[in-house]
Amino acid sequence: MKPENPFLTTGYYSPEYFCDRESETRQLLNYLVNGQNVTLTSVRRMGKTGLIKHLFYQLPANWKGIYVDILSTETMSQFLDAFATAVIQSMPEKETLGQKLWNFIKSMRPVISFDSLTYLPQASFELRAKEAENHINSILQFLEKQDFKVVVAIDEFQQITKYPEKNADAWLRSVIQQMNNVKFIFSGSQQHVINDLFNSPSRPFYRSTVMQSIGKIDQGNYFQFILKWFIFGGKKISDSIIDEMLTWANMHTFYVQLICNRVYSCGVQEITGEVWREEAYKLLKELEVVFYNYRNMLTGPQWNLLRAIAIERVVYSPTSKDFIAKHSLGSPSTVLRSLKALLDREMIYSSFTDEGVIYYSMYDVLFQRWSESR
C-alpha cells in the first residue's frame, strides 16, 4: 500500500520516496562489492537507516541484504534472536532459497512465533552466551557457503558495548574476519562510541572497516524532490517557500521530512508563507512537553549550556570568557563537565570544520528553533 503522505517520517518505502543519496549508495555498494566491510555513521536522524534500506533495493541480483537493528538487545543471546529473526525475514519460507535457510534455522530449535501486528516471523532461543555465540557463528557459516553474496547490516551497533559479555566485539571481529561471501555494514548514531569501537588501537575493530559518514542531502536535489511531490499532490508551492522550509529545518533530513509532511497534509492546497509557518509553530507547540522534559532530565548547568548552544547554533569555544559571560554559565570547569554529559547523552554533538576546528552543535533542530523563539 502506497504511503498517503509522500514525506515519510519513519522507515523506508521505496526509491520513489527517497531523495538522492546516489553517490553515497554507489560508494557503499562499491566498498562491499570490493570485499570491504563498512562502518556507516552520521549525526542522528540524518538518514543512515534509510540509506541501508535504499542500498538493499539496489543490490545486484546475486546479493541478499539482511538488516538487523540491535538497539533493543542487551545480551549476546538477544543478539542471536535479532539476527536469526532478520535472517528468516529476509527470505520467505516458500522460496527455494528461503526453505533451505528456514530449515537450517529451525534445526537450531528456536521458538518461532508471528508478530501479532505485522505477522512477520520472529525467532527466539534463550541461550547462554557461549551457545549463542556458536549459533551466530553457525548461521554466518551457513550463509558463507551459499552461492549468493550477503550483506549483513547491523544497525545501532554501538549497543554491543553495553552487553555484559565483555569481549563481544572481539569475538565478533574474529568471526567476521573469516567471511568472504558475507559482508557487513556497521551503523550507529552514537558517533563517539562508534569512533571508539572502530578507531581506537586498543579495540578489536580498529581499522577493520572503511568509515563512511553521511552528511546533509544536496540542497538542489532536496528542493526538486519536495517540489515534485507537492506538484504531484496537486498543491501550489513557490520556490521561496521550499527554500524557507529547508532553511528552517537546517537541511537535516528528518526535520525536513517532518515539516514537509505536516505542510503537505494540512489540508490547504495553496501553500503560503503563513500556512507553513503555522505548521512549524504547531510542531514546536506539540513538542514543548518533550523539551520541558529535557530540563527535568538535566542538571541546571547542563540545561543552561544546552540552551546556550541551541541559541548560538554552533559553538567553537564553549569555555571562552565571552560565551560563558553571555549565557551566565559559571566556571569553565562546570561548562566542561556539562559538555561531556550532553555529549554522552547525545543531546549535542561535536564535529570539525573543513579547517579542522572543533565545534559543538545540537542535533535537534526543533529544540533549537523552540529555544530561539523564547
Ligand X SMILES: Nc1ncnc2c1ncn2[C@@H]1O[C@H](COP(=O)(O)OP(=O)(O)OP(=O)(O)O)[C@@H](O)[C@H]1O
Q: What residue ranges bind Mg ion (CB under 5 A)?
A: 48-49
Quote the least distance from Cβ 49 to ligand X, whole Å: 3
Q: Which of 32, 39, 50, 308 binds ligand X (CB under 6 A)?
A: 50
Cβ 261 to Mg ion shortest distance, Å: 18
Give the position of cell 548461521.
Answer: 139
21 binds ligand X (CB under 6 A): yes
| 47 part of the interface to ligand X, by CB under 6 A | yes
Burial of 303 (0-12, 13-18, 19+ CB in 10 A): middle
Select 160 or 329, whichever has its Cβ closest to ligand X: 160
List the x/- string, 235-254, binding to ligand X by CB under 6 A.
------------------xx
Q: How many chain residues touch ligand X (CB under 6 A)?
A: 22
Kindly tell me which of 18 and 171 has the beta carbon lying closer to ligand X. Answer: 18
Are 246 and 256 in contact by the 8 Å Cβ rule? The answer is yes
48 binds ligand X (CB under 6 A): yes
Closer Cβ to Mg ion, 24 or 133, answer by number: 24
Smallest gap from Cβ 229 to ligand X, in A, equals: 10
Task: For strands 314-315 and 348-352, give the pairing.
Answer: unpaired
Phi and psi, residue 266, nearest 5°: -80, -5
Edge-to-edge strands, sheet with 38-41: 63-69, 149-155, 182-188, 38-41, 210-213
| Contact partner at residue 10 from ligand X, Mg ion, none, CB < 5 to 8 Å by partner kind | ligand X
Using an 8 Å Cβ cutoff, are 323 and 315 in contact? yes
Instruction: Please list every residue from 255 through 314 that binds ligand X, using CB under 6 A.
Output: 257
Comparison of 48 and 183: residue with beta carbon closer to Mg ion? 48
3-state secondary structure (DSSP) of residue 350: strand
Phi, psi of 44 (to 5 degrees): -60, 150
Q: Closest Cα partner for 82 from 68, 71, 92?
A: 68
DSSP secondary structure of 136-171? HHHHHHHHHTSSSEEEEEEETGGGGGGSS-TTHHHH
Query: Within 207-236, which residues bind ligand X (CB under 6 A)?
Result: 217
CB of 155 to ligand X, least distance (A): 7
The span from the CA of 235 to the CA of 191, in Å, is 39
Task: State in angstroms the smallest separation of the CB of 67 from Mg ion.
Answer: 11
Residues 317 and 62: their CA atoms lie apart, in Å, by 51
Q: Which is nearer to Mg ion, 48 or 327 (CB)?
A: 48
Question: Using CB under 6 A as the criterion, what x/- string covers residues 24-43 for binding ligand X?
Answer: ------------------x-
Distance CA 199, CA 321 (A): 33
Closest to ligand X by CB, 174 or 247: 247
Choices 19-27, 91-99, 123-131, 138-146 (CB under 6 A): range interacting with ligand X: 19-27
Nearest distance from residue 251's CB to ligand X, in Å? 12
- In the bound state with ligand X, the residue whose beta carbon lies nearer, of 46 and 324, is 46
Based on DSSP, count helices (H) and strands (E) in the chain, helices before strands.
Answer: 15, 12
The answer to whether residues 184 and 151 touch, using CB atoms and an 8 Å cutoff, is yes
Between residue 168 and residue 207, which ones bind ligand X under the rule CB under 6 A?
Answer: 189
Of these, 31, 32, 38, 45, which contacts ligand X (CB under 6 A)? 45
Report how far residue 349's alpha carbon sits from residue 354's, in angstroms, rounded to the nearest whole number.
Answer: 16
Report the C-alpha gap between 372 and 374 in whole angstroms. 6
Q: Which does 42 bind (CB under 5 to 8 A by kind): ligand X, Mg ion, none?
A: ligand X
Cβ 48 to ligand X shortest distance, Å? 4
Residue 45 contact, options ligand X, Mg ion, none, Cβ 5-8 Å cut-off depending on partner type: ligand X
Fill in the DSSP letter of residue 16: G
- Closest to ligand X by CB, 217 or 309: 217
Q: Which residues bind ligand X (CB under 6 A)?
A: 8-12, 18-21, 42, 44-50, 189, 217, 253-254, 257
